[in-house]
Structure 1
Amino acid sequence: MNAYLHRSEDRGHVKMGWLDTKHSFSFGNWYNPKYMGVSALRVINDDRIAAHNGFGTHPHDNMEILTCVLSGTISHRDSMGNERHITAGEWQLMSAGTGVQHSEINNGDEEVHMLQIWIQPNVRDAEPTYQQIQRDPNTAPNQWHLIVGPNDNAPMHIRQQAEVKAAVLETGHRLEVTATQAVNYVHVIRGEITIGEQTVKAGDALLFADNAVIEAKEDSQFIWFDLPKQ
């Protein structure tokens, strides 16, 4: 299997007061020309946000912005009129389209741990939309949980020929990666897995084009991005 291992230690690490974040790809003040994204996947930010802090109101356009809350609760407000709380085990997809302003604030007393994921759309200047679901793979391990996709069978619709799936895999269990698109990118949140002959640990990601089998060396959680060729 031809594969490229993106190691956790190669991510950008930015710590500034209330925010401790690791960037899989170039973002903000951290730039590395080797890491500019994979296919339509442009951003994976592993954010830890201190209590009573967060991202104030700021704009986005023409980006599919997926938020996965791993612990704590983040409060969302946007110019579409949405005011929602996203708790651990929930996912939010904001299609920024022609433009939207939003804020993400940790109003609680504990740190929030979340992933912010940006995927470039295949339709520009569409009407902005907001979607949110509860889909915690910890409650049903050892299977794929579809989070977003381009078709009606997906719980949240994304403006791109891509699927995002999440899983928790218990030690010794296996899952198959059977791609519908051209590029697979598996990002490990916690634990340690093998994909083919590659060992992939927490914070690592593996880029590969073939179908494969994932085996958990310890209890693990990860996300699979099934992406188009670009």
Structure 2
Amino acid sequence: MTTYLHHSEDRGHVKAGWLESKHSFSFGSWYNPEFMGIGSLRVINDDIIAAHKGFGTHPHDNMEILTCVLQGTISHKDSMGNQSQIHAGEWQLMSAGTGIQHSEVNQGDEALHLLQIWIIPNVQNAEPTYQQIECDPKQTPNVWQLIVGPNANAPMHIRQNAEVKTAFLQKDHTLNVEATQKFNYVHVIEGEIEILGQVVKAGDALFFDDLATIQAHVDSQFIWFDLNN
């Protein structure tokens, strides 16, 4: 069995005006050759966006871009004609494919907190798509909630042999990690959990390649990436 605990303090911390971000993996101006992603999982950015600020129109291609809003509301607009609001407890998936232009702006009066996650697709130059769902694990604690997957029955379809699940686990409760793929990567949003004898705190993540049980030391929210490569 292989495990690796990625500590929160080892993330890149970038603060530039209206944006404060913590990068789990190398991104933008922050580069660390030891943290280049886990298989097809390339980016986890923990972003705080100031009121009335955000990312102006910019391009992406050939990337699966998953956004999890934790606090506030972000306004989305893209070159496919989509205009939407993504509220706390909602998730957005953009499959950039052959190319897309989009903007993401915090139009509220308070800071916005979100996770931006990039997964490398296994299909290149496909038609861009946009998907959005509501899934707040705090409403249904102590169970896994599937967010994206490669099959048609997933709430949002991703172009990669991977699943992303989330859970809110109440203190002293447990959840089993029953992987369908090769690698597991659990990122803790808030709280503190234990996996395979490792204590994983908010901002930490644990990589492991076997079955496991998660136990919550306190009420905790986290994301599980079930990855083939």
Q: Normalising to structure 2: TM-score of the pair? A: 0.99
1:123-142 aligned at under 5 Å gives the runs 123-142=123-142
Report the counterpart of residue 195 of structure 2 in structure 1.
195
Runs of 4+ aligned structure 1 residues displaced above 2 Å come to none
**Local SS of the residue matching 2:138:** helix
**Local SS of the residue matching 1:107:** coil
Q: Does 1:8 align with 2:8?
A: yes
How far is 1:153 from its partner? Answer: 1.6
Residue type at the aligned position of 2:112:
V
Report the counterpart of residue 221 of structure 2 in structure 1.
221
Q: Distance in 2 between matches of 1:112 and 1:228?
A: 32
1:57-76 aligned at under 5 Å gives the runs 57-76=57-76
Residue type at the aligned position of 1:10:
D
Q: Does 1:88 align with 2:55?
A: no
Q: Normalising to structure 1: TM-score of the pair? A: 0.99
Q: Distance in 1 between matches of 2:10 and 2:197?
A: 21
Identity, % of aligned pairs?
Answer: 73
How many residues align? The count is 229
Q: Provide, for residues 127-166 of structure 1, a one-character-per-residue CA deviation record: whole Å limited to 9, x for no partner.
A: 0000000010010000000000000121000000000000
Q: Distance in 2 between matches of 1:172 and 1:107?
A: 38
Report the counterpart of residue 210 of structure 1 in structure 2.
210
Q: Distance in 2 between matches of 1:23 and 1:62?
A: 20
Report the counterpart of residue 121 of structure 1 in structure 2.
121
Q: Distance in 2 between matches of 1:130 and 1:2?
A: 36
How far is 1:2 from its partner? Answer: 2.5
How far is 1:177 from its partner? Answer: 0.2
Q: Distance in 2 between matches of 1:153 and 1:209?
A: 25
**Local SS of the residue matching 2:181:** coil
Q: Distance in 2 between matches of 1:207 and 1:196?
A: 11
Q: Provide, for residues 93-120 of structure 1, a one-character-per-residue CA deviation record: whole Å limited to 9, x for no partner.
A: 0000000000000001011000000000
Report the counterpart of residue 174 of structure 1 in structure 2.
174
How far is 1:186 from its partner? Answer: 0.1
**Local SS of the residue matching 2:5:** strand
Report the counterpart of residue 78 of structure 1 in structure 2.
78
How far is 1:190 from its partner? Answer: 0.3
Q: Distance in 2 between matches of 1:30 and 1:83?
A: 31
Q: Distance in 2 between matches of 1:2 and 1:228?
A: 15
How far is 1:17 from its partner? Answer: 1.1
Q: Provide, for residues 18-56 of structure 1, a one-character-per-residue CA deviation record: whole Å limited to 9, x for no partner.
A: 001000000000000000000100000000000000000
Q: Distance in 2 between matches of 1:220 and 1:97?
A: 34
Residue type at the aligned position of 1:29:
S
Q: Distance in 1 between matches of 2:128 and 2:153?
A: 21
Query: What runs of 5+ residues in structure 2 fail to find an aligned partner?
Result: none
Report the counterpart of residue 101 of structure 1 in structure 2.
101
Report the counterpart of residue 151 of structure 1 in structure 2.
151
Residue type at the aligned position of 1:151:
N
Q: Distance in 2 between matches of 1:192 and 1:94?
A: 30
